[in-house]
Chains A and B, each alone.
Chain A
């Protein structure tokens, strides 16, 4: 691997340090995605931009690494019986429509209010959605943890029970993850919202996964695994759209993929060792931390738009770098919890295997 890195360094502005940096960010992003079904993208796009990659190319290249990564992750988790392909495909197709609509809104905002306006819209969406959904998911995870019933099977929410009880003829589909028939009239708007969020903040899963858990009634493990199918469908369509305009930098996409495939395998393996509430915990925690990161940027964009007094250049710089650091921190904390849980799980399993062996020898 070192030879490749060195050889590449002689050719272009993608030097060895950049390659290692992208590989590592890809790895951590992949690890988290493999576990909670999405995430990582919100660090990768600004991460690439910090290397001087233009915004649209960063978004396009990120997407082009996302769909093969999601595919590999989905296949891996399908082996553990966690994927509901039908639900993933149905939500994925409606998410695709959401992506197109979300991108359209973005374009209009950019036309009307310029870059700062579109940035403010993205940050506001981040803050509002992550505060509501992230806060809810985190609270639910902590409640389970405090109650001490972490071994218990997850309860289907009242809302999900209601959704499952509604019968709209000709729209009912059986989903194995829900073990129930649900009208696609419920799944389509959820998929659409997932896509819209993906087009806006690059991580659709922050709506996709909680909606599958709380609105449809899927178990956390299956929801996070099925999100990978949605991400694949969405990412494939999105990448193609960007590639048609020649915006995908395949080198960036594949270097990130190199790291993220190592990560996603590990994240997927991790899910087999943890209790379901851990998925919610990691997801909620990342969402809430990222929320603070984006909130820091709101004053910057507001001052650019003239909605408040201009900030000093120094202040903007500090806010920008703090915001990015917090984002990386969110991802690292997520990765740390996943690795720790997996490490503990593997140790317990090995211990038990040894004891079984001892007993059988006796």
Chain B
């Protein structure tokens, strides 16, 4: 466990980072089409919800690994209560 935490998951960070950037690029480059569908309401309400889940999955993993690679990690040993 101690050894694996020493090795930084740079590969993983790059992959999730690329997916994240691609998602944001797709969103911002197609704003007009996206806004016209997402703003329709009714059953189209699923679109923003699903989008939020997809973004949070990839960008969430990326940001988590990002801080790990930078060396900002949770305290290893729990305080004795």
Which residues of chain B (17-73) have a CB below 8 Å from chain A?
Answer: 21, 24-25, 27-29, 31-32, 34-35, 38-42, 44-49, 51-53, 55-56, 59-60, 63-64, 66-67, 72-73
| Nearest Cβ on chain A to B77's Cβ, whole angstroms | 8
B32 and A246: CB pair below 8 A? no
- The answer to whether B48 touches A248 (Cβ under 8 A) is yes
Q: What is the bound-complex CA distance between A75 and B74, given in angstroms?
A: 14
Q: Which of chain B's residues have a CB closer than 8 A to the CB of A345?
A: 75
In the assembled complex, how far is the CB of residue A14 from the closest CB belonging to chain B, in whole angstroms?
8
Instruction: List residues of A (1-50) whose CB comes within 8 Å of B's CBs.
Output: 1, 3-4, 7-8, 11-12, 14
Q: How large is the interface on A (under 10, 10 to 19, 20 to 34, 35 or more residues)?
A: 35 or more
Given contacts A68-B56, A76-B64, contact A258 B75 (CB under 8 A): no
- The SS class assigned to the B binding surface is helix
Q: Given the complex of chains A and B, what is the CA–CA distance between A12 and B27 in angstroms? A: 13
- Does B76 have its Cβ within 8 Å of any Cβ on chain A? yes
B73–A258 touching, CB < 8 Å = no
CB pair A254 B52 closer than 8 Å? yes
Residues on A with beta carbons closer than 8 Å to the beta carbon of B75: 272-273, 345, 349
Mask, A243-259, CB within 8 Å of B = 1, is 11111111101100110
Task: Say whether B67 contacts A269, CB under 8 Å.
Answer: yes
- Check: B7 CB closer than 8 A to any chain A CB: no
Residues of chain A with a CB closer than 8 A to B25's CB: 3-4, 7
Supposing A250-B48, A257-B52 touch, asked if A245 and B41 sit within 8 A by C-beta, the answer is yes
- Which residues of B sit under 8 angstroms from A273, Cβ to Cβ? 75
Q: Besides A64-B52, A258-B24, 4 other CB < 8 A contacts?
A: A75-B60, A243-B38, A250-B35, A269-B72
Question: Can you sample 6 A-B contacts with CB below 8 Å?
Answer: A245-B41, A250-B48, A250-B52, A261-B59, A264-B63, A346-B72
